[in-house]
Structure 1
Amino acid sequence: MSINHPIIAITGSSGSGTSTVKNAFEHIFRRAQINPVVVEGDSFHRYNRIEMRTAMKKAEAGGDRTFSHFGPKSNLFEELENQFKTYGETGNGRMRYYLHNAEETALHNKRLNLNLKTGEFTPWENIPPGTDLLFYEGLHGAIVDAKSGVDVAKWVDLLVGVVPIVNLEWIQKIQRDTAERGYSAEAVVDTILRRMYDYVHYITPQFSRTHVNFQRVPVVDTSNPFIARDIPTLDESLVVIRFSRPKKINFPYLLNMIHGSFMSRPNTIVVPGGKMGFAMEIILTPIIDELLENKKKI
C-alpha cells in the first residue's frame, strides 16, 4: 500500500458487473479531475486467444479438466504483483492491452502503427508519468496464491469486490456467450464446470479480502440458471453492500441519500438494484478523496 501512489482495484469475474463499477469510478475521476492510469486485468493473462485454445487442448489431452482463465496456470500473477509493488513505490511500471474486439484492435494498431489481430496483446509500454493513482479492473485484484507466494492484495489501497450470487453469474454468462459469441448452451455449461476448481480456490477467496463488496441478488426466480431465458434486470435485484471497516462509514447519511435502502447487519447496507451506480459513487467518492488528501500531506 502506498500513500504517494495509491492503487484501487476492482475484482470480479467476467459479466459480474465490474463495468458498472468502472463507470462509477470514471464519473468520480472526471468530477474530481483525477488522472488515473487504467490497468486491465486481461492484460495479465499468460496466453493470447489462439495460445489459450492450444494450451487448453493440451491440458485436456493430459487429463487436466480444470485449466481456465481463473487460475495461476493461465495468468501472470507474479507480474501483476510486481506491477502493483512498483507503482506503489515509484508511480512507474509497465502495462499492455488485450485486444478484445475489432474496435480496440483498430484503435491500438493506429496508435502504435502495428498490425495486431483481435485476441492478441499490445507490446508492453511504460506507464505515463504524472498519474494520480492506478486503477485496476479484472479477475485478480485481490489474488493471493500460497503456492507461489504471490500476494497482490497487500499492495492495494482500496479493494472493491463485485460479485453477483452464483446463479445470476451463470445466467449472465450463458446468455452472453450464446447470444453474442455463438456458443451452444452445452459448451457454456462445460466451461462453467471446467472453471469451477479455480473459481472456488482463486476467485471467491478474494471477496474476503476486499474493503467493500457489492453483491447483486435477484428478487426473481433464478433457481435453474440453465433454462433461464432472461437476465434479471437491476430493477429486479437488490444490491448487498458489505464493508470490512464499518466504523469509517456514515450509515445514517447513506440511508438518507439512497431511497429504499436498509441495513441487514452492522456492516451491511442493502440498496435497490436501480440505485447501484449512485450508491457506488456516494460510497466510494469520500474514500478516494481521503486517499488523495493523504497523498497531498506528504
Structure 2
Amino acid sequence: MSKKHPIVAVTGSSGAGTTTVKRAFEHIFHRDNISAAVIEGDSFHRYDRATMKAEMTAAAQRGESLSHFGPLANRFDLLEELFREYGETGCGKKRYYIHSDEEARQLNARLGTSLNPGEFTPWEDLPAGTDLLFYEGLHGLVVTEDSNVAQHVDLGVGVVPIVNLEWIQKIHRDNLERGYSAEAIVDTIMRRMPDYIRYITPQFSLTDINFQRVPTVDTSNPFIARDIPTPDESFVIIRFRDPRKLQIDFPYLLSMIHDSFMSRRNSMVVPGGKMGFAMEIILQPIIERMMDARRV
C-alpha cells in the first residue's frame, strides 16, 4: 500500500454491474480534479479472443475447464507487478483489450495500429503525474499461491449482486449486446463456476466496502427471466469491513439517504434507486482523505 501513489480497485464478476461504481468514481475524480491512471481488468487476460477459444477447446478435450475467472487464463503476476510498481513509483505499463469495433476505431486512430476486436494493444507507459491508480475488473484483490494482488490495494470496493441477479444481468447483456445464445451463456456460467468459487468470491472478504444489490421480485429461476429487475425493485446492502478505519459517519449517511437503515453494526441498506448517490457520498470523503495524505 502507498500513501503517495494510492491504488483503488473495484472488483466484481462478469455482469455484476461494476460500471455503476466506476461511473461514481469518475464523477468524484471530475469534481475534485483528480488525475487517475485507469486500468481495465480485461487487459491482463493471458490470451486474445481467438487464442482463448482454441485453448478452451483444447482444455475441454482434456476434460479440463478454462475460464477468464481463473489464473490459467490471466496474468496475475503482471497485475501484481503493476500494482507494486505504481505504489512505489507512480509508474507502470498498461494495454487495452479491444471489445468492439468502436473501441478498435478509437484505439487504432490514437496508436496508428490496425487491430481488431478481441486483440490487445501494445503495452504503453501510464500517464505521468497521476494522483492514483484506478482498477476495474475481475481480479482487483485476487490472491493465489503465486500472486497476492490484494496486498497492494489501498481501497478495495466489491460490486456483488446476489448470484441469481448477477446471472440475469449477464444473460441479458451477453444476449443483447454480444449476440450469444441463452444456451451458450448458461454453458459459460457452468464452466466458470469452479474458478468463480476459488478466485472471485474470496475477494469480497478482502474488500473495504461491498455493494450488494438484492431484488425484491422473484428471481428464483434466472434462466427464464424476461427482464432485469429495476433499481426501484431492489435494495442495496452496503457492508464496511472496518467503518472506523474509513471514518464512516453512519448518522450522516442515514440522514442523507432517504429510507436507508442499519441492518448490522457495519452494514446499511439503501433503496436500489439511491445506489449511485450512496456510492458518491460514501466514497468521495474517503478519496479526498487519500489525496490529503499524499500531500503530507
Alignment TM class, shorter chain as reference: over 0.9
- Is contact 1:246-1:266 (8 Å) kept? no
Identity %: 66
Give deviations 1:134-177, integer Å, cap 9, x for gaps.
0000000000002x2x1100101000000100000111111222
> What amino acid is aligned across from residue 291 of structure 2 in structure 1?
L
| Residue equivalent to 1:296 | 295
| Residue equivalent to 2:60 | 60
CA distance in 1: counterparts of 2:128 and 2:278, whole angstroms: 32
| Residue equivalent to 2:172 | 175
- Is contact 2:41-2:139 (8 Å) kept? yes
Q: SS where residue 270 of structure 1 aligns?
A: strand
| Residue equivalent to 2:206 | 209
| Residue equivalent to 2:45 | 45
1:179 CA displacement? 2.3
| Residue equivalent to 1:138 | 137
| Residue equivalent to 1:109 | 108
1:188 CA displacement? 1.0
| 1:1-298 correspondence to structure 2 within 5 Å | 1-64=1-64, 66-146=65-145, 148=146, 150-247=147-244, 248-297=247-296
CA distance in 1: counterparts of 2:72 and 2:201, whole angstroms: 17
1:71 CA displacement? 0.1
The alignment's C-alpha RMSD in Å is 0.7
1:180 CA displacement? 2.4
> What amino acid is aligned across from residue 233 of structure 2 in structure 1?
E
> What amino acid is aligned across from residue 123 of structure 2 in structure 1?
W
1:186 CA displacement? 1.5
Q: TM-score, normalised by structure 2?
A: 0.98
Q: TM-score, normalised by structure 1?
A: 0.97
Give deviations 1:18-58, integer Å, cap 9, x for gaps.
00001000000000000001010000000111111011001
1:178 CA displacement? 2.1
> What amino acid is aligned across from residue 226 of structure 1 in structure 2?
F
CA distance in 2: counterparts of 1:176 and 1:108, whole angstroms: 23
Give deviations 1:92-139, integer Å, cap 9, x for gaps.
010001111111100110001110111100000011111010000000
1:201 CA displacement? 0.3
How many pairs align? 294
1:184 CA displacement? 1.9
- Is contact 2:15-2:167 (8 Å) kept? no
CA distance in 2: counterparts of 1:187 and 1:36, whole angstroms: 37
> What amino acid is aligned across from residue 183 of structure 2 in structure 1?
E
1:262 CA displacement? 0.3
Q: SS where residue 289 of structure 2 aligns?
A: helix
- Is contact 2:95-2:121 (8 Å) kept? yes
1:253 CA displacement? 0.3
CA distance in 1: counterparts of 2:278 and 2:203, whole angstroms: 22
- Is contact 2:28-2:284 (8 Å) kept? yes
Q: SS where residue 122 of structure 2 aligns?
A: coil
Q: SS where residue 189 of structure 1 aligns?
A: helix
CA distance in 2: counterparts of 1:234 and 1:243, whole angstroms: 21
CA distance in 1: counterparts of 2:216 and 2:43, whole angstroms: 35
> What amino acid is aligned across from residue 91 of structure 1 in structure 2?
G
CA distance in 1: counterparts of 2:294 and 2:177, whole angstroms: 43
Gaps of 5+ in 2: none
Q: Displaced runs of 4+ in structure 1, greater than 4 A?
A: none
1:182 CA displacement? 2.3
Gaps of 5+ in 1: none
1:221 CA displacement? 0.3
CA distance in 1: counterparts of 2:176 and 2:291, whole angstroms: 42
